Each structure stands twice: as C-alpha cells, then as structure tokens.
Amino acid sequence: MLIQVGYELVFDCVQETPMILMVNIHYSRASDIVSPDLLTTDPLTQVTSYRDRFGNWCSRIVAPIGKIRLKGMGVIRDSGQPERLATSAQQVALQDLPEDTLVFLMGSRYCETDLLSNVAWAQFGQTPLGGPRVQAICDFVHDHITFNYQNARPTRTAWEAFNERTGVCRDFTHLAVAFCRAMNIPARYCTGYLGDMGQPPPYGAMDFAAWMEVYLDGGWQTFDPRNNAPRIGRTLIAQGRDAADVAITTTFGPCTLESFQVWTDEIAERASALR
C-alpha cells in the first residue's frame, strides 16, 4: 500500500527566529520512500540540514518577522500488514549489550529511572525476561494512564505521569521507557506518523505519535504502550533518549504556533504516479 504523509505548521514571529526542525521520514525507511517529504517554506527561507548524534535528519532555518508556513508532504510504501510484535524476543545480558545501546539504559530529562527503579522492580521483577517483560510494562502503562489531550503539557515527566495517571502518547512512552531502562532493557523514544489504517471509527484528530523501541534479540523492536496493539503504516521520523531529543520544532525566540496539521492517508498507486 501507499501512504501519503505530511504536515503544515504556521508560526507568527515577532523577530527573526532561528529554528531547528525534525520533520523528515527517517533514513531507515529510505528504500520505501516513493515521493520525498521535502521541507518547503512560505515565504521562501534558506534551509540547511545536518544529522544529529542519533542519526536524525534536522533542518535549520531563520524564520523572518511575521508569519511563516512550513510544509512537507511525501509518499511512502508500506506492507499494509499489521506490525509484528516481539513479545517472545530474548533479552540481551548487560555485559553483552553493544556500546551504542548503553546510553539508552540511562536516565534522561523526561525518564527518571532513579525515581522509578523501585516501582519497576516491585511491579515487574517477577515477570519473564525479554519480550514478555516489555509487554508486561506496556500493559501496565496502557492501563495506568488515561489518555487525555486536555491534560497534556510539555514538561510532564515519566515520574509525574506515573503519579498523575493522565497524559498523551509521549507520557505513555516516557513511563514505559523509564521502566524498561530500570529493568536493564535499553529503550529509546520514537516519534513519527501513525494513521488510522485498519482501525474502526471514530477517528481522532491527527497528530504526530510517540512510541518506543527496545533492544531485544540483537536488534531494536517496536512497542507502543499508548495503543498496545499491532498497527499498520507506522512511519518513523526520529529516535532519541526522550522527547527532548526529537522535538518536531525547536524555536529560539518568541513566536506563536498559529496552525498545526498532520495527515497520513492511504492513497491509490495511480494517484502517486501523477505526482
């Protein structure tokens, strides 16, 4: 199947404002890209790009005074099948973990492993190692937190989400990531597109989604504590320690986000050929 993904952000800036944008499909899906999701700006603004420490593609601009529209739209090919869950994957012993996974065992800005370690071992210490333990964590988080856009806030941490028991997908993910790390399982935060393909209505407003990847069986495996079920068409944008590493936009100055749209829709093969 073909999936069209895209976004449109409109900012109003009171002064020239440097921005970092993390909005492009992740390089790990490069072979699936049918039409690249190039960043465009209105008014026309110079864009420079680089890769961060985690390999994510980042774009830099200096937004002019007034309104600026940032937009990208691409087409990606997907199997159209529900993703495979690694619920039986084996855990890798600490001493055998690759060095580049070790940073994902540490506490981070939004994932306080020190505060949640005792809770994690009390709750999951008797569960089987590996995939079953990660799934037990996802089941707990999925049931523990009530999804509520009205209660979202950008500063909520995993510890606060555990105690407040409310939040959005980033809060589910932060808590599950912190629990996994406390149980010696490397876990990283992911953001990207996740549509409603294969899901029954009603459909909520589309937004960028958050989930996690954990290191099991010698590779990174996808788990989603918010939805806690196999999904179709998940499209990665960026990975990091937590949401602080993968912010869609980071602005360095006063500005107002006036409009925010995200879409991900199945399209016909012919429609893609006409682009």
Could you tell me what percent of the chain has a pLDDT over 70? Answer: 98
Residue 271 pLDDT? 54
- Residue 222, in any domain of the structure: yes
Question: Are residues 102 and 204 located together in one domain of the fold?
Answer: yes
Residue 256: count of CB within 10 angstroms of its CB: 11
- Residue 237, in any domain of the structure: no
Question: Are residues 254 and 124 located together in one domain of the fold?
Answer: no
- 135 confidence band (pLDDT: 50, 70, 90): very high
- Structural domain tally of the chain? 2
Residue 272 pLDDT? 52
- Mean pLDDT on 55-81: 97
- Residue 23, in any domain of the structure: yes
Question: Does the pLDDT at position 255 exceed 60?
Answer: yes
Q: Which of residues 207 and 157 earns the better pLDDT score?
A: 157
- Residue 238, in any domain of the structure: no
Question: Are residues 118 and 219 located together in one domain of the fold?
Answer: yes
- Mean pLDDT on 207-222: 96
Only one residue has tokens 């407040």, namely 164
Question: Are residues 60 and 152 located together in one domain of the fold?
Answer: no
Residue 151 pLDDT? 86
Question: Are residues 7 and 62 located together in one domain of the fold?
Answer: yes
- Residue 242, in any domain of the structure: no
Residue 200 pLDDT? 86
Question: Are residues 224 and 109 located together in one domain of the fold?
Answer: yes
Question: Are residues 127 and 58 located together in one domain of the fold?
Answer: no
- Residue 243, in any domain of the structure: no
- Mean pLDDT on 7-21: 97
Q: Which residues contact 122 (CB under 8 A, 6 or more apart)?
A: none
Summarised one tens digit per residue, pLDDT across range 169-196 is 999 999 999 999 999 999 999 999 999 9
Question: Does the pLDDT at position 274 exceed 60?
Answer: no
- Residue 239, in any domain of the structure: no
Give the tokens for residue 154. 């950008």
- Mean pLDDT on 215-227: 97
Residue 228 pLDDT? 95
Residue 149 pLDDT? 87
- Mean pLDDT on 87-106: 97
Question: Are residues 69 and 24 located together in one domain of the fold?
Answer: yes
Question: Does the pLDDT at position 270 exceed 70?
Answer: no
Domain span holding position 139: 94-232
CATH of the domain at 71: 2.60.40.2250
The whole-model pTM stands at 0.94
Question: Are residues 74 and 192 located together in one domain of the fold?
Answer: no
Question: Are residues 180 and 228 located together in one domain of the fold?
Answer: yes
CATH of the domain at 132: 3.10.620.30
Question: Are residues 23 and 98 located together in one domain of the fold?
Answer: no
Residue 202 pLDDT? 77
- CB-neighbour burial class of residue 150 (10 A; exposed 0-12, middle 13-18, buried 19+): exposed
Question: Are residues 113 and 207 located together in one domain of the fold?
Answer: yes
What burial letters (b/e) apply to 100-132, b meaning 16+ CB within 10 Å? ebeebbebbebbbbebbbebbeebbeebebbbe
- Residue 66, in any domain of the structure: yes
- Mean pLDDT on 193-201: 90
